[in-house]
Structure 1
Amino acid sequence: MKKVISSLIIACAAITASAAPSILSLKHSISDNSITYPESFETDTHKMLQNWYLQNYTVLDTNFDKSQPLNATDEVYIKRLSALPTTIEMPYNQIVRSYINMYTQRKRELVEAMLGMSLYYMPIFEQALERHGVPLELRYLPVIESALNPDAVSKAGATGLWQFMLPTARGLGMEISTLVDERRDPHVSSEAAAVYLKQLYNMYGDWSLAIAAYNCGPGNVNKALRRAGIEDKKDKDFWSIYYFLPQETRGYVPAFIAANYVMTYYNLHGISPALAKRPIITDSVHVSKRVNFNQISQVLNIPVEEIRVLNPQYRHDIIPGDIRPYSLVLPSMQVYSYIMSEDSIAGRDATLYARRSVVEPTSLEELENNGEFTTKLVVKTHKVKRGETLSGIAKKYGVSVSDIKKWNGMRKNSVPRGRNLKINTYERVRIEKPAS
């Protein structure tokens, strides 16, 4: 009898084990009815299309056939994702499909704008990722992070193309001050992102978890792994801890997969590709003087908007080169002109943009000699408080007791509490100059 019971227990255990979903099946069959889309989907597309770079350097292909179908079958999506030449796994499921649908249907104009911006930004991303030996498909992380807007700021304060929080950015060596925010610098932030992503991958040995940790931090991923009871490194996988992650992070890897899809297969959904209206070739120069974008614009005859697009890290159009040398990106043909005209640029309207290092306040004597002040009679009202005397009140205003008695028709030196006394005082006031 014991043998029979033991056999039944073993059989039931075997059935249960075979029925439990594996990570492999879970990543393809998982579904979620409460999907939270990234803030990048809220980007004001109309405002983005007014970007100076998009207006002057790109144009949408008007001859493109827009009659392509909006949707495809699950089998087609799986085939297309499988054909992507990526190291990072790109599985398909209904969550991934919801993000693909969002990009290819409701956010078509956003994709068109991002395709235009990608002509400039993608080479910068790829060079940084290549230098640090991480997969090039990570170049599409800024698509879901910021919609390729270097000035993007999330509700939580994450900033720039790669959406770094301030502590993380400073930990990676980026400068953040009133004048400079290197989270907005495409070159500096891309280098930092590549370093950080490599650190996260070394921590988990899995790119899906590294990407999730990039969004919500290693602490939340580690907590999710503990709650899921996963300790073996080979079992660590984003999809195995999906429901233990913060809600926003659950959609992060699916959004990343969808971004790779739409930036590759946009033409198969009737989304117009962006074409280069004219090439933009840039170079950089180190600036060792404090200069304003307007000074550069006026001397080199470059639109201020173009300087801002190429140098979004300078928050107030000021390069504080007097503190330390800073990099300035310009169209390559203008770099030599800047070097030759550096003194002229710094001297252009110098008094308008100068920052005073030493200031002495103007003396009263100088002001009086300049005739800018005069003495004027001012009548004030003093309400007598408990315990106050005429002598104390007179001392407070710098007048005599007899004057107070005369101004208020008083004969005695005593004054009742609550009485309002008229006090005549003289004050120095600035002479108002007539409007020209």
Structure 2
Amino acid sequence: MFLALSVNANNIINEILNEFNIADTKKNRAILEDIYKKIDNLDVKYFKDTISKKTENVFIIKNELNEIEAPKFLLYLAMTESRFLNKATSHMKAGGMWQFMPKTARAFGLEVNKYIDERRDPYLSTDIAFKYLKFLNSKFDKWYISLMAYNCGDARMQKLMKRYKSDDFYTLLSSSKTPIETRNFIKRIIKLTMISKNEEVKEFLTNLEPKFGLEKIKVSGGTKLSNIAKSIGLSTNELKEYNMHVTKGFVPNSKDSYHFYIPANKLNLYALSYVSDLIKGERTLEKEYNIHKVANGETLDEIAKKWGVDVNLIVKKNNLKIDESLDGKELKIPLNKVIEATKNKEYKVKSKDTLSKISKKLDKDIKENLALNDLKNKKLIAGDAIVIP
């Protein structure tokens, strides 16, 4: 048993009544007391283990909850639905951390097709989940009903309340017409919320930190996840864990650009690898650009100077015509500035060079950048270019 019913237990039940908008009646309180009495040490272990395994997704949700000032117990909706797994799929084909059906996901603007399934994007799906929950709560005005509607559908929830002429918690949970899955669903969320209010668990949650966090990177159409993984020293399977939304492991060629997520502690290595590929000609910036909105009277020369690019590149990238008015236009600015900024950061290997000799010459430990320069299993060859961060 979690805890004997005590003053603390009664306080927790009072908080649940208030947070979930449940009326404080004898019957409603009896349901909550029954849920509380059945909590045991295995439940607490499951709670801690599940959260510890998926700290990145947990913090994505917690940060969003803080930003929009939504109830903290919505974290446990995702825990109930999927255990915070982006790859989760139900027998009904609901998918992702928030278990959206394809039709619902598309209705809220998520892309779901053969190549991209944004139900499995932890950031985009979390944003849509909270918008959907906000819609449900504006409709029902009680969180326990909104959560039940999330599971069985708002139309079905409305029919149940109409049938019983009541939205009472006890009535809805006691009715055989309410799907058993929905009754268990709301009880499960309440149970996890109760566990989170235990003092020992509160301390666990307070001390919890994400392993590394995730960073969003922009990539061109056709980019393979395996190539990004190699550039930052991860296995493809490991990087796939954070990019389940790219279902085939690459961005379709039909897209100008899209995004992957990489561990935050790999961002610098990715940036350096990106620059290295530019120098070696293995990557182009053809689809990489900044957007510049032209001010009234602003000239191409002024824009080119501001961004440090050649005027002709701007003209070519934007298919501009002679004497064309630019006022108010949004121009694509090629990022050749990146190439120019990094060309001076390469070292050309000379005959009889070793890593130790190069490190001494440059006063930098080149061994720290073996992955960046793909030197782990290669000998130095005169003429090779080594990127120096």
TM-score with structure 2 setting the length: 0.61
8 Å CA contact 1:283, 1:330 repeated in 2: yes
8 Å CA contact 2:58, 2:84 repeated in 1: no
> What amino acid maps onto 1:222 in structure 2?
Q
Aligned residue number for residue 355 of structure 1: none
Structure 1 residue 186: deviation in Å? 1.0
CA deviations over 1:92-118 (Å, ceiling 9, x no partner):
756545655666355555323212035
Structure 1 residue 345: deviation in Å? 6.7
> What amino acid maps onto 2:112 in structure 1?
I
CA distance in 1, matches of 2:14, 2:89: 34
Equivalent pairs: percent with the same residue? 22
Q: Are 2:156 and 1:220 aligned? A: yes
Matches within 5 A, 1:32-431: 70-73=2-5, 76-82=8-14, 87-89=19-21, 93=29, 95-96=31-32, 104-107=40-43, 109-117=45-53, 119-230=55-166, 236-242=167-173, 243=175, 244-265=177-198, 267=200, 279-320=211-252, 323-342=255-274
* SS at 1:160 equivalent: coil
CA distance in 1, matches of 2:199, 2:243: 29
CA deviations over 1:80-134 (Å, ceiling 9, x no partner):
3335797434777565456556663555553232120353222211333344443
* SS at 1:290 equivalent: coil
CA distance in 2, matches of 1:344, 1:100: 58
Structure 1 residue 136: deviation in Å? 2.7
CA distance in 1, matches of 2:39, 2:125: 25
Structure 1 residue runs of 5 or longer lacking an equivalent are 1-68, 231-235, 351-436
> What amino acid maps onto 2:77 in structure 1?
L
CA distance in 1, matches of 2:13, 2:83: 21
CA distance in 2, matches of 1:259, 1:268: 11
The 3 A distance-change label for structure 1 pair 189 and 321 is: farther
CA distance in 1, matches of 2:32, 2:279: 56
> What amino acid maps onto 1:239 in structure 2?
Y
> What amino acid maps onto 1:252 in structure 2?
F
8 Å CA contact 2:61, 2:75 repeated in 1: yes
8 Å CA contact 1:284, 1:335 repeated in 2: no
Structure 1 residue 282: deviation in Å? 2.6
The 3 A distance-change label for structure 1 pair 221 and 287 is: same
Aligned residue number for residue 361 of structure 2: none
8 Å CA contact 2:13, 2:33 repeated in 1: no
* SS at 2:223 equivalent: strand
> What amino acid maps onto 1:149 in structure 2?
L
Matches within 5 A, 1:8-47: none
The 3 A distance-change label for structure 1 pair 304 and 95 is: farther
Structure 1 residue 78: deviation in Å? 2.7
TM-score with structure 1 setting the length: 0.55
Structure 1 residue 175: deviation in Å? 0.9
| Larger of the two Rg values belongs to structure | 1
8 Å CA contact 1:291, 1:345 repeated in 2: no
CA distance in 2, matches of 1:346, 1:154: 43
The 3 A distance-change label for structure 1 pair 175 and 142 is: same
The 3 A distance-change label for structure 1 pair 94 and 118 is: farther
CA distance in 2, matches of 1:278, 1:138: 19
CA distance in 1, matches of 2:122, 2:9: 32
* SS at 1:310 equivalent: coil
Structure 1 residue 177: deviation in Å? 1.6
8 Å CA contact 1:129, 1:191 repeated in 2: no
RMSD of equivalent CA atoms: 3.5
CA deviations over 1:232-283 (Å, ceiling 9, x no partner):
xxxx3443433142221122222111111223428379x9889769841332
8 Å CA contact 2:55, 2:209 repeated in 1: no
Structure 1 residue 326: deviation in Å? 1.6
CA deviations over 1:298-334 (Å, ceiling 9, x no partner):
2221232331222221223223365142221112243
Structure 1 residue 201: deviation in Å? 0.8
8 Å CA contact 2:56, 2:210 repeated in 1: no
CA distance in 1, matches of 2:275, 2:12: 56
8 Å CA contact 1:295, 1:346 repeated in 2: no
